[in-house]
Amino acid sequence: HPLFVPENTDLSAIHQFIAIDLDDRENGAITYSLVGGGNKFSIDAHSGQLSAAPLDHEEHAAYRLRIQAEDQGSPKKQTICEATVRVLDR
């Protein structure tokens, strides 16, 4: 399901991504990152909270993001989630 964001709004929180790792202690700690997310979006490495700078519907009506979640095991395991953000026109 896409995420819908109104244009021209400075959003400190769009969505929170959550990955689960059943490893014990620090091996199960997850870090999040954007893969090629550009400069409009950021994700908190520890909480998975996605944020955005103000977006313009006329500039881009939609963005496709790739969020990587990685554990701290050895070797590290990772997965990538794809998300679509649709910018609502005002």
Q: How far is Cα 14 from Cα 25, in angstroms, rounded to an integer?
A: 29
State the residue for tokens 């103000």.
54
CA atoms within 13 A on the CB side of 56: 2
Per-run averaged pLDDT (10 residues), the chain, 90 residues: 88 86 76 86 94 92 95 88 92
Residue type, 33: S
pLDDT at 1: 79
pLDDT at 21: 80
pLDDT at 63: 94
pLDDT at 29: 86
pLDDT at 65: 94
pLDDT at 37: 64
pLDDT at 36: 79
